[in-house]
Amino acid sequence: MSEAFNADRLTRLCDFLRQSPTPWHATQAMAERLEKAGFQRLEETANWQLTSGQRYYVTRNDSSIIAFQLPNGALKSLRMLGAHTDSPGLRLKPNATQYSAGWLQLGVQVYGGVLLTPWFDRDLGLAGRVHVRHSDGRMESVLLNVERPIAMVPSLAIHMDRDVNAGRAINPQTQMAPVLLQSDSADLSGLLATWLEEQHGMRGVDVVDFELGFYDVQPPSLVGIKQELIASARLDNLLSCFIGLEALLESDGSQGALLVANDHEEVGSASACGAQGPFLSDVLKRINGQVGGASEESLIQLIQSSLMISCDNAHALHPNFRDKHDERHGPAINGGPVIKVNASQRYATNSVTGALFRDVCREADVPVQSFVTRADMGCGSTIGPITATEVGVPTLDVGVPQWAMHSIRETAGTRDVEYLTRALKVFLNRPALH
């Protein structure tokens, strides 16, 4: 295999991860890159005027995004890439202000399947979106990112819990509220007012609502003697968003191509902007109506002539827990992209789509691996089966192998970033899919 370490791409990845503490920030960062590359923004509430050979993007809820390029000739098929913008974490409750032992704390609720233990003793920032009302009655939504360490969830000393290393349950209601300030009078409203003025110059506005969450402010880093690893928060699944975007921007534009990054995958995808919602279907209908056959028959033909690669990270073989993998299906970090297979359709891959991806990897000169859970263990899922069910497009699930999935800090291989990007570029440029 040819050299796979790409320093410039890894720099862009680290920048993207730093800019994207929430799905709204990730979507904004992706939109900015698309616009710089010449993609035109579309509004869902406006009439679309699409032109062959042009590139477009559209967002929903400011947390999901679809970007697509149209070929110069007739649109016969689309090469689709799918990912998700959200990651497990701790989100604020609506009435978050609380006090204990002379400290201001903020009550949290768990978003997704969080690995809770690594959240203790971390430097935490706060980010999300806030909706305000100005003095003239005008409503506005703004992004907020307090990217300095303002909070922490302190551990209990081992002297007060001698059996802690034997394992104990963590109660997120009573044991996970971060501490922010030694005070019994400060509150979240006052803090938000300060931060809104600092970041947006807003004074005298009323905070009407918000969606905010804590995150680890430790920046991404390359780890290992030879920098074999990248460690960061939210690699699941911002890594796939980044790789899909890189592949789309570097494709030759000769084929119809589409990238969708949905929100709410970590909580089941059942929302208007999630994979179970109509976002992708709505866009496909409008594309077909503008540059396709403009009929229900032609839409079905377009979908069935297309292919979706759902990209979501895979569980890499852990050197300290090798028994957690099937002995013949333990993907190695830096061993190339992983085809994810599950007989119960928790992943959407079948032999047809799997064979096509293996051929793509052969053409791209990258290694390829397979992952199947142990037969005596449960299996997670992705947007792949949901998209296949809702849209009907032939789909397969692939991903970069990683450790510590759903931890506050996850780990993947630096060479795998280049491997999967290279494979997806070949896929997007392929003249024929079937």
> Per-residue pLDDT tens for 385-426?
999 999 999 999 999 999 999 999 999 999 999 999 999 999
- pLDDT over 80 at 4, yes or no: no
CA distances, 98 to each of 102, 156, 188 (Å): 10, 19, 9
Q: How confident is the model at residue 2 (pLDDT cuts 50, 70, 90)?
A: low
Q: Is the peptide bond before 350 cis (omega within 30 degrees of 0)?
A: no
Closest of 153, 169, 149 to residue 161, by C-alpha: 169
pLDDT digits (tens, 9 = 90+) for 295-344: 999 999 999 999 999 999 999 999 999 998 888 888 999 999 999 998 88
- pLDDT over 90 at 73, yes or no: no
Give pLDDT, residue 1.
53
The one-letter amino acid code at 241 reads C
Tell me the C-alpha distance between 96 and 110, whole Å. Answer: 13
Q: 196-224 burial by CB neighbour count: b if 16+ within 10 A, else e? A: beeeeebeebeeeebbbbbbbbbebebee
Percent of the chain with pLDDT over 90: 88
* Domain 89-216 indexed as CATH 2.30.250.10: yes
Give pLDDT, residue 374.
86
**Average pLDDT value for residue range 93-106:** 97
Q: What is the mean pLDDT of the chain?
A: 95
Give pLDDT, residue 375.
84
**Average pLDDT value for residue range 105-132:** 97
- pLDDT over 90 at 258, yes or no: yes
Give pLDDT, residue 433.
77
The sign one gets for the Cα dihedral 307, 313, 314, 317 is: positive
Give pLDDT, residue 8.
96
Q: How far apart are the first and last CA of the chain?
A: 26
7-86+233-429 CATH choice from 3.40.50.300, 3.40.50.10860, 2.30.30.30, 3.40.630.10: 3.40.630.10
What are the residue ranges spanned by the domains of the chain?
7-86+233-429, 89-216
Give pLDDT, residue 432.
79
Give pLDDT, residue 423.
98
Residue 64 backbone dihedrals phi, psi, to 5 degrees: -130, 150
Give pLDDT, residue 293.
82
pLDDT digits (tens, 9 = 90+) for 218-250: 999 999 999 999 999 999 999 999 999 999 999
Q: What is the CA radius of gyration of the chain?
A: 22
Give pLDDT, residue 326.
86
Measured N-to-C along each axis, helices 414-429 and 351-364 cross at an angle, to the nearest 10 degrees, of 110
Kindly list the strands in the beta sheet with 221-223, ordered across the sheet, starting from the edge strand earlier in the chain.
Answer: 221-223, 229-232, 410-413, 401-403, 314-315
Closest of 79, 13, 123, 49 to residue 424, by C-alpha: 79
Residue 292: CB atoms within 10 A of its CB come to 22
- pLDDT over 60 at 287, yes or no: yes
Give pLDDT, residue 3.
65
**Average pLDDT value for residue range 159-182:** 93
- pLDDT over 80 at 19, yes or no: yes
pLDDT digits (tens, 9 = 90+) for 23-45: 999 999 999 999 999 999 999 99
Range with the lowest mean pLDDT among 94-103, 290-299, 309-318? 290-299
Q: How confident is the model at residue 383 (pLDDT cuts 50, 70, 90)?
A: confident
